[in-house]
Every structure is written in C-alpha cells, then in structure tokens.
A and B are shown apart, each in its own frame.
Chain A
Amino acid sequence: MSELRLRNATKRFGAVTVIDGLDLDVHDREFVVLVGPSGCGKSTLLRMIAGLEDISGGDLTIDGQRMNEVPAARRGLAMVFQSYALYPHMTVAENMSVGLRIAGEDKATIRTKVAETARILQLEALLDRKPKALSGGQRQRVAIGRAIVRNPRIFLFDEPLSNLDAALRLQMRLELARLHGELAATMIYVTHDQVEAMTLADRIVVMNAGRIEQIGTPEELYQRPANLFVAGFIGSPKMNLVAARSDGTAVSSAIGRFPIQVAEGPVTIGVRPENIVIGQHEGMTTLSGRVDVVERLGANSFAYVAAGDGTMLTVELPGMTRIRAGEQLDLSIGPEAATVFGPDGALMGRVPDR
C-alpha cells in the first residue's frame, strides 16, 4: 500500500506564495498527472512531496505517516528528473546501484536487482557504459531504472519526456504506461503537456497559479471541465470559447442561440471542435462562416472558420475533406454539445442528457 495525502499544503518563497493551501489524495497504484502551464507550481509541489523543498504549511502524509520533516532520503520515494540527472562519471550499473550502495545492501543483492531492472528496461547491453555514450532515450531509461531499483513506495516524475524528440517521446510514453501496469506502482507525474496527461493518467490534477483547478479522470476533464481554465487547457486543438448572454430561457451569442436554461447574465459558451457538424441540421443551432485556413493532418483536418461577426471557430473535419480556404460553410451545433460557463468562469450546467 502506498497512499499519499496532502492537506492544506502551502509553499512560500519569502513573501511569494507559490502553492496555496492545496488538498490532494493519491491512491495506491494510481497514476496521477499534475498538469498546468509553466509557473503554476506543479514542479514545486512535486519537489515538496520529494523532500527537495521544505513545506511551509499544511501536512504531507504517506501511508498515514506524517512526512513534512522526514528527509528526502527516508521518504521511500524515487524521482526521475527532467535532465535525467545521471552521474556522468559513473557507469549505467553504478548509476542504478547508488541508492542500494548507500543503503548498505550487499553486493550480491545489488547485482541481482540491477540485472533484473536492466532486463525490464532492456538495458543489459549498456550496463558498463557512461551516460555520455548513451542516446537520449537510453539515458531516460537509465534514469527510470535508477528509480525502479530502489523499489520505492511512490515514483515521482518531473517532466521526464520534455528533452526527447517527438518520436521518442511517444515511444517512452507507451513504455511508461506499460511499466506502470507491470510494476503496479503508485506514480506522480508532472508535465505541461496535456497530451501526456490525457494518455498516461488515471487521474489528472490541473493546476494554475498555485491552486488546483480540477481533479478527475481524463474523460471527466474532457467532458465536464469544471471551469474555463480547464476547458481551455485540456484538449487539442482547444475548445471554442465564445462570449454569450443568458436571458434565463436560452443563451445567445455571435454563433447563435442555444436553448439552454441557466441563470441570467453574461456567460461563455464552449464547444469542442469535433462537436460542430457540417451542414444545416434540424434541432440544432445553425450558423454560416467563411473558411480561413484548413490544416490537414491525414486522419482528420481542422478548419478555422470566421463566423458572421469575425468570431473564430475551430471545426474538426474528416481527413480527406474537399473543403478549401475561402469557401462559405454551413455549420450546426447540437444543444448537448455546448457547455456554459458563468461570469466567474465556473461550469454552469447543461441540458440534461436525453
């Protein structure tokens, strides 16, 4: 069992508060991803959990044990750093065994554990090399291996894939997902890349300005973003957000009128690009616009459409669409596809599912 719990966790650097009274539970064997724009405090939070930063206020417990004052070395955690932080003067095997050597394990045990880990990560042939002689992906695996060898209660990852090129990043992402299953370990993972968050996480924690905006599974975050920040952050391309006004019976905006009943006042309407349909359809809100740019990605395409008053909408199209820039396009949006956010940015509600 490895369960981590943060209560009212706070971090201040002098007069600046970077983590502001934050609560979080990480369950056993869960893969939790902390995601947010740079400067949101996600790395600081991870370092507080690791013990590399002091906790200014609140409590950190692991398996029910308070950890605030326990030194990093004795929290039973392992961390994979963004730069991998491999010791450049040690071989792969030495790098992986440092923790065990410090812990005073006997040589035979160390050898067995390193060999076993090397097997899992396909590093056997590289054990005698120095980090300099490894590729980026191999270094990454050694860094993970160094964590695995120690058999930690929780794995911490600080943007581990951001130094890799796109192809390797995809490969390592799959490998991490596989490892999570294989090791049945608890993992906390920090990234600014929402794709990594969506693909890897059991649960995602979206952070902004030192606070949690929303915690939930990838589906929940995508389908029911709790506020404008999450709506804009999760999903690629971004959700279309349009200023609108509610009169109590319906919401009207530059892209049309939606029969959604929410409190009167200024609101924002959010529509995902894939929920906008081509053509005029019965029972939907319809509008017309001029295609500005079409991006073809192969499997699908995205059209950037200027609605009547110039409001830009992103619309997902089939891969081999014939639609070209400059064309006039009719679009329809079903009432169930629209999400409404109140003047404070919080989710207001939707027409109940039919």
Chain B
Amino acid sequence: MEKLTRLTETAPERASRYGTLALFWVFAIVSIYPMIWLTFSSFKSSSEMFGATWALPQRWRWENYVAAWDYGVSQYLISSVIVTVASTTIIVALASAAAYALVALKLRGRAYLYLAILGGSILPPEVSLLPLFRTVTALGIYNTYWALIVPYVAFGLPFTTFLIRAYMVKIPLELAEAAEMDGAGPFWTFWNIYLPLSRPILASAALISAMRVWNEFIFALTFVESESVKTITIGMMSFANALRGDWAVMMAGMVISVLPIFVVFLVLQRQFIGGLTQGAVK
C-alpha cells in the first residue's frame, strides 16, 4: 500500500541511483583514459613518461610527431588511404549492384544466390589465408596494393550486400515496375532510381567498409612486405619494433594512425552507428 501512495524517491532509491551513476563514470573512465593517456604521453619525453605518468606534459613536444611522421608513418598513411579508398569504392559499387539484382530483378534461384553471397560472411579469413597467399603470389600481385584490395573486396562483399539489400528491400517494387513501364532497362533503374534512393545506406556502408579495411590486420600482415606498401596497422608494428625504447615517438605515431578514423567517426557518428546496428540487430 505504502508503495503505491509514495510519490517521491526514497533514500535507498536515491542511493542506488547515485551508485549506478558512480559505476558508469568508472566504466567511462576505464574506457577512455587509456586513449587520453596515450595522447598526453605522446607529447612527453620518454623520461617524463615514466616519472610523471599522470601529469600533463611539461612541454608539448610536437617534435615527437615530426619524428614519427618522418620515420615512415607518412608512407603508411598514404598506403592506407589508397587501399581504403579503392577497396571501399569497389565494395560499395559491387555490393549495391548485387543487392539491386537480388531485390528488384527477376532471378531464378534468388534465395540461393543470396545465400551464396551471404555465406562468405561465415568464413574467417584465417581459413582461406594460406591458399589465398598462393593465389596472390600466382597472380603476381604479391606485395602490391592489389594484394590487399582484391581480398578486402571479396571479404567485404557479404556484409555490405546484406546491409544494402536490407535497405533496398524497403524501396517499393512498384517504382521499378513503373520505370519498366516507362521503358527503362535494369541498368537505368539501378542508376536512376535505386542508387539515389539508397544514398543514406550507401554512406553507412562505405563508412563501415572503410573502417574495416583501415583496421584490417591479417591480410595486411601476410600479403605485403615492403615498407612502401604496408598499411598503417602493420606499419605500426615495424614502426614500434624499430622504436623500442623511444616510447614517446612511438605513441605519437599511434596517435597519428588513429586520428583519421577518429575525425571521421566524430563527424559521421550517426551514419556510422546507424549502419552498424542495422547490420547486427533486427
């Protein structure tokens, strides 16, 4: 009875609310403090890093960044940008074409074709790694950007097609039929109706693909070896190995490698999370 008539918060309720809040602050700090620490440390001298872990840098040592940049980070960044832009463009182009056919065109065995594409998403790259290494070598593209771009596209297609298809399914089929009555062929309808109407999901799909490619590890580790074609994820490994001891410069390099994604994420957070969640949750 008392429970029903009570209108304001009771003391134990308030305590549990503040307790929850405190707990969330702890989690939030655990989540982001390592990044803050990384950023601050990257501006310190190595001795300062060990001696005054928690303090702000005495002086903002931009020279750490210059050193890291000159040490090869710039080249890794260029490689990463090239591979990411190329892979993402091809993935989104092919996936949207496939999604369009699966949604709007008359296909025999549509369900099986879709399954044939979706099935790729359950194959971890490790399983194909060895034979893929031989394929890449046989094609003569080992240690070139193509050795990364082609596998990235192949492995990126299932999820991206899934994502775009889920969106295109919601475009009324009558639009495609109206276009057909208007005399349009499948290519016209794809280019003039489905692509423009799918713009929001294309942005999300591109963003997610780009992020995955940018962060990809095992192919980048295996299919290229020259410093000049290494992407930043792998480049950072050789960079770190070379710089064991010069922690601050190494950390400056790490900050540089994170910065592009960080900026993109903060600017396009909505499309980003929108796309991710659309793919994973129904």
Contact = CB atoms under 8 A, between A and B. Distances in A.
B174 A102 contact: no
A81 B184 contact: no
Interface in B163-205: 172, 174-175, 177-185, 188, 193, 196-197
Interface in A2-20: none
Interface in B60-100: none
A73 B182 CA distance: 6
Interface residues on A, range: 20 to 34
Interface in B186-232: 188, 193, 196-197
Interface stretch (A83-91, A111-119, A285-293): A83-91
A85 B183 contact: no
B175 A103 contact: no
A98 B185 CA distance: 12
A99 B182 contact: yes
Contacts of B197: 88-89
Contact of A72 (B174, B181, B188): B181
Interface residues on B, range: 10 to 19
Given A83-B172, A85-B174, A77 B183 contact: no
Contact of B174 (A73, A83, A99, A146): A83
B196 A89 contact: yes
A102 B177 contact: no
Interface string A274-302: 00000000000000000000000000000
B189 to A, nearest CB: 10
Interface in B107-148: none
B182 A77 contact: no
B183 A79 contact: no
A272 interface: no
A118 to B, nearest CB: 17
Contact of A98 (B172, B179, B196): B179
Contacts of A82: 174
A81 B177 contact: yes
A245 interface: no
B178 A79 contact: yes
B215 to A, nearest CB: 34
A88 B179 CA distance: 13
A52 interface: yes
A192 interface: no
A146 B177 contact: no
Contact of B184 (A52, A79, A83, A98): A98
A73 B175 contact: no
Contacts of A212: none
A98 B181 CA distance: 10
A318 to B, nearest CB: 46
B180 A85 contact: no
A223 to B, nearest CB: 37
Of the listed residues B174, B175, B180, B182, the one surrounded by the most CB atoms of chain A closer than 10 A to its CB is B182
Interface in A82-110: 82-83, 85-89, 98-99, 102-103
15 contacts: A51-B180, A51-B181, A52-B180, A73-B183, A73-B184, A77-B181, A78-B181, A79-B177, A81-B177, A85-B178, A87-B175, A89-B196, A89-B197, A103-B183, A146-B178
Interface of B: 172, 174-175, 177-185, 188, 193, 196-197
Interface of A: 50-52, 71-74, 77-79, 81-83, 85-89, 98-99, 102-103, 146, 150
User: Closest 3 CB pairs between A and B?
Assistant: A85-B174, A85-B178, A73-B183
Given A81-B177, A99-B183, 19 more contacts: A50-B181, A51-B180, A51-B181, A52-B180, A72-B180, A73-B181, A73-B184, A77-B181, A82-B174, A83-B174, A85-B174, A85-B177, A87-B175, A87-B179, A89-B196, A89-B197, A102-B182, A102-B184, A150-B182
